[in-house]
């Protein structure tokens, strides 16, 4: 009998989504950072849909400050809207807790969620609460809607050979706490979509070694990585930059002719945030193989999370 550990997260998603009816002609469906719904040709914006979940002992530990957990729960979803060139709007929160949870913990969690919602002009629209059996893990599930202007929508499936690969910020360090305090790149994404629209884009949630192959595969391409150019978080190694995960930086490609003007304009607009070219999109046969990064169903020894 095949187990989830044997096939991994990506293969599981492919197998499960084949079992359900799908939209016949989606702008973006399973496999991209958000689902994209077209309200009709008269609408200047497209609807973005996203769900996410945080699970105790997977995404945070029992002694993690609850306000930081709350920020992370919302910020992860905001980052997915940024990956599509969009903006977050309305959030639904489902909270499943052991009955012995202290009310002060739950309130601090929601203070953290509120911090992030206010920071990105989003609001709570509803939700649900549930108990879990004693000794079970806390689960925080988030669903949200957002929007993106038609001309700003960026998918992860539109990269083409010859396009440079770029990343914002620095990579590595999530295991030392970066995963609890990151800032979703909404401002940077909106600026990019308005001035130098990326050809393809996603956010880095599972590590560059896991996510760059996903972007390349979605585009029917390969990727050639320049490891010497990886922007390392201080104190981190190239291996950590590739595999730690939960950087929540923007990974994107652009047209070759955009590269020089983009690299000139970026530091004038975002002087404290690096933008680094880390490789090139290539033909599938020329792409290199990367290993590592987070997989929810990999053996625990390969996933030293949180």
Tell me, what's the pLDDT at 219?
A: 94
Q: How far apart are the first and last CA of the chain?
A: 31
How far apart CA 110 and CA 40 sit, in angstroms, is 36
**HSE-CB for 49 with a 13 A CA cutoff:** 11
Tell me, what's the pLDDT at 301?
A: 38
Tell me, what's the pLDDT at 16?
A: 73
Contact (Cβ atoms closer than 8 angstroms) between residue 64 and residue 112:
no
Average pLDDT over residues 210-215: 95
The superfamily (CATH) of domain 164-302 is PurM-like C-terminal domain (3.90.650.10)
Q: What is the pTM of this model?
A: 0.92
How far apart CA 201 and CA 140 sit, in angstroms, is 26
pLDDT of residue 186 exceeding 70, the answer is yes
Q: Which of 177, 181, 244, 235 is nearest to 210 (CA)?
A: 244
Q: What is the DSSP string of the chain?
A: ---HHHHHHHHHHHHHHTTS---SS-SB-BTBSSEEE---TT-SEEEEEEEEEEEBTTTB-TTS-HHHHHHHHHHHHHHHHHHTT-EEEEEEEEEEEETT--HHHHHHHHHHHHHHHHHTT-EEEEEEEEEE-TTPPPEEEEEEEEEEEGGG---TT---TT-EEEEES-B--GGGTGGGT----HHHHHHHHHHS--SEEEE-SS-HHHHHHHHHHHTT-EEEE-GGG--BPTT--HHHHHHS-----EEEE--GGGHHHHHHHHHHH-TTS-EEEEEEEE-GGGPPP---S--TTS-GGG----
pLDDT of residue 172 exceeding 70, the answer is yes
Tell me, what's the pLDDT at 293?
A: 82
* 3-class SS string, 111-135: HHHHHHHHHCCCEEEEEEEEEECCC
Flag the least confident range among 19-28, 94-103, 193-202, 237-246: 19-28
Contact (Cβ atoms closer than 8 angstroms) between residue 139 and residue 76:
no
Q: Where in the chain is the domain with CATH 3.30.1330.10?
A: 4-152
pLDDT of residue 305 exceeding 60, the answer is no
Confidence band for 304, pLDDT divided at 50, 70 and 90: very low
Tell me, what's the pLDDT at 300?
A: 46
Q: Which of 221, 224, 218 is nearest to 283 (CA)?
A: 221
276: β partners = 167
Q: What is the DSSP string of 228-242?
A: GG--BPTT--HHHHH
How far apart CA 267 and CA 275 sit, in angstroms, is 8
How far apart CA 168 and CA 274 sit, in angstroms, is 6
pLDDT digits over 256-293, tens only? 999 999 999 999 999 999 999 999 999 999 999 898 88
Tell me, what's the pLDDT at 31?
A: 64
Question: The tokens 């044997």 sit on which residue?
Answer: 6
Which residue did the predictor score with more confidence, 110 or 8? 110
Fold assignment, 4-152: 60s Ribosomal Protein L30; Chain: A; (3.30.1330)
Helix axis angle, 103-119 to 66-83, nearest 10° = 30
pLDDT of residue 111 exceeding 90, the answer is yes
Q: 10 Å Cβ neighbour count for 148? A: 23
Average pLDDT over residues 46-67: 95
Tell me, what's the pLDDT at 27?
A: 65
Tell me, what's the pLDDT at 126?
A: 96
Which residue did the predictor score with more confidence, 278 or 297? 278
What percent of the chain is predicted at pLDDT more than 90? 80
pLDDT digits over 118-156, tens only? 999 999 999 999 999 988 999 999 999 999 999 999 999
Q: Where in the chain is the domain with CATH 3.90.650.10?
A: 164-302
Residue 44: CB partners within 8 Å, gap ≥ 6?
149, 150
Confidence band for 297, pLDDT divided at 50, 70 and 90: low
Show the tokens assigned to 44: 């200047």
Average per-residue pLDDT for the chain:
91
Confidence band for 24, pLDDT divided at 50, 70 and 90: low
Confidence band for 306, pLDDT divided at 50, 70 and 90: very low
């Amino acid at each position: 009998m095949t187990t989830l550990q044997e096939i991994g997260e990506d293969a599981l998603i492919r197998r499960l989504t084949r079992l359900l009816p799908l939209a016949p002609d989606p702008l973006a469906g399973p496999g991209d950072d958000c689902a994209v719904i077209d309200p009709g040709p008269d609408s200047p914006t497209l609807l973005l849909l996203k769900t996410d979940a945080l699970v105790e002992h997977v995404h945070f530990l029992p002694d993690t400050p609850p306000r930081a957990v709350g920020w992370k729960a919302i910020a992860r979803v905001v980052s997915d809207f940024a990956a599509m060139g969009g903006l977050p709007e309305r959030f639904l929160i489902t909270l499943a807790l052991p009955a012995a949870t202290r009310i002060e913990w739950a309130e601090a969690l929601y203070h953290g969620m509120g911090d992030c919602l206010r920071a990105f002009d989003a609001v709570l629209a509803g939700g649900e609460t549930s108990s879990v059996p004693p000794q079970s893990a806390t689960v925080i599930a988030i669903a949200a809607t957002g929007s993106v202007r038609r001309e700003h929508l960026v998918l992860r499936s539109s990269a083409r050979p010859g396009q440079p690969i770029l990343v914002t910020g620095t990579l590595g360090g999530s295991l030392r706490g970066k995963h609890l305090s990151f800032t979703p790149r909404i401002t940077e994404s909106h600026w990019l979509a308005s001035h130098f629209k990326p050809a393809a884009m996603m956010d880095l949630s599972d590590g560059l070694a896991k996510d760059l192959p996903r972007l390349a595969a979605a585009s029917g391409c390969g990727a050639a990585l320049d490891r010497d150019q990886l922007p390392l978080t201080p104190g981190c190694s190239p291996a950590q930059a590739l595999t730690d995960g939960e950087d929540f930086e923007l990974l994107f490609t652009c047209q070759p002719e955009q590269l020089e003007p983009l690299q000139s304009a970026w530091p004038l607009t975002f002087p404290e945030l690096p933008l680094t070219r880390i490789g090139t999109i290539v033909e599938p046969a020329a792409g290199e193989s990367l290993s590592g990064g987070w997989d929810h169903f990999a053996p625990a020894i390969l996933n030293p999370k949180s």
